[in-house]
């Protein structure tokens, strides 16, 4: 019997908690965000490692593990590299890891690394007559977080980033007025009423790619796009823009992001409509309403905008 194969294996969700990493400085300010850097006292993330290569085929076909790098070794490799990492970003850490992995293990033909931020925020503590962020105590946040995926391959003895994707994942945004959904197709299956002004509750993931992957790892951060700035930017668009649908909204977000960050080649969105159902309205003030959870199924909307280069 003739068969084909595609081989990969690796280690998922390697947790990394590095303290006192290099501070992130030199981020280009934008009007829509106050973010220009962070202290990186807590630099925490989890890493997925996926390795590709026909050199591992004999482990599948004959039980020959002579080329196999144990996934436990991969985990230890990630953790040891975290200690010597002198950069300041998630993308920079993955870039360093990828270079070192392929340089250390020549049997790996290709490597995909995915990192997800584990965000911590400084707690507020008294400082004379006011309050300030603590420099030693941090609270684990379960709100939105940054992610990055970098794919590494070998080209003429060089290790290069062949594919990349960055993102801000898990935004949950509720706009109480300034969103509509009307004039959609109505037929015998339609029960949804038209709403000229609804409180739109949106789950949103935003992704982006650079024209030049060097901007991911440039230590000057001249063209680096921080997830914090993207988060703030799309929130400003949501705040300002009166949309006729979620499709209308994410298209506006994408157009503005590409104008704001000319170093990006692509932005994409994955949105979920989590809008609540109206239950009651005040007799004395039409703005005062009560909402509750709708039927558990929810709408999903995706959009990718690619710049013509």
The DSSP letter of residue 30 is B
Please return the burial class of 133, using the count of CB atoms within 10 Å of its CB with bins 0-12, 13-18 and 19+: middle
Query: What radius of gyration do the chain's Cα atoms show?
Result: 23
**Rama region for 230: left / alpha / beta (φ>0; ψ in -120 to 50; rest):** alpha
Cα dihedral angle (119, 34, 229, 300), rounded to 10 degrees? Answer: 80
Residues 6+ apart with CB under 8 A from 262: none
CA triple 110-147-134, angle to 5 deg: 135
Structure tokens at 163: 């594919």
- Could you say which of 22, 28, 71, 289 is catalytic? 71
- Could you say which of 11, 75, 175, 209 is catalytic? 11
Which of 116, 96, 101, 104 lies closest to 16 in space, CA to CA? Answer: 116
Structure tokens at 207: 């992704």
Q: In this structure, what are the phi and psi dihedrals at residue 44, rounded to the nearest 5 degrees? A: -120, 140
Structure tokens at 159: 């290790």
Q: In this structure, what are the phi and psi dihedrals at residue 61, rounded to the nearest 5 degrees? A: -85, -30
Catalytic residue list contains 287: no
Catalytic residue list contains 22: no
Structure tokens at 194: 């038209």
Active site residues: 11, 71
């Amino acid at each position: 019997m003739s068969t084909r194969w595609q081989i990969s294996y690796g280690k998922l969700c390697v947790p990394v908690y590095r303290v006192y990493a290099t501070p992130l400085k030199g981020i280009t300010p934008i009007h829509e965000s106050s973010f220009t850097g962070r202290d990186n006292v807590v630099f925490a993330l989890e890493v997925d490692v996926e390795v590709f290569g026909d050199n591992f085929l004999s482990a599948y076909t004959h039980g020959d593990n002579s080329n196999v790098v144990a996934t436990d070794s991969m985990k230890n490799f990630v953790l040891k590299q975290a200690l010597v990492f002198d950069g300041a970003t998630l993308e920079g850490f993955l870039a360093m890891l990828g270079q070192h992995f392929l340089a250390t293990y020549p049997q790996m033909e290709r490597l995909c690394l995915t990192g997800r931020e584990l965000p911590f925020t400084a707690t507020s503590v008294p400082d004379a007559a006011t309050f300030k962020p603590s420099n030693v105590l941090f609270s684990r946040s379960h709100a939105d977080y940054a992610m990055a995926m970098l794919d590494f391959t070998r080209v003429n003895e060089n290790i290069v980033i062949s594919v990349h994707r960055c993102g801000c994942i898990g935004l949950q945004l509720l706009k109480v007025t300034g969103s509509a959904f009307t004039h959609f197709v109505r037929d015998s299956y339609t029960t949804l009423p038209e709403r000229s002004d609804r409180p739109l509750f949106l789950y949103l993931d935003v992704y982006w790619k650079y024209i030049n992957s060097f901007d991911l790892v440039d230590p000057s951060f001249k063209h680096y796009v921080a997830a914090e700035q993207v988060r703030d930017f799309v929130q400003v668009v949501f705040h300002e823009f009166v949309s006729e649908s979620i499709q209308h909204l994410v298209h506006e977000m994408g157009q503005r992001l590409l104008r704001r960050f000319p170093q990006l080649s692509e932005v994409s969105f994955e949105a979920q409509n989590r809008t609540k159902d109206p239950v009651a309205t005040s007799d004395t003030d039409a703005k005062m309403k009560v909402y509750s959870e709708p039927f558990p199924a929810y709408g999903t909307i995706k959009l990718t905008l690619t710049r013509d280069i």
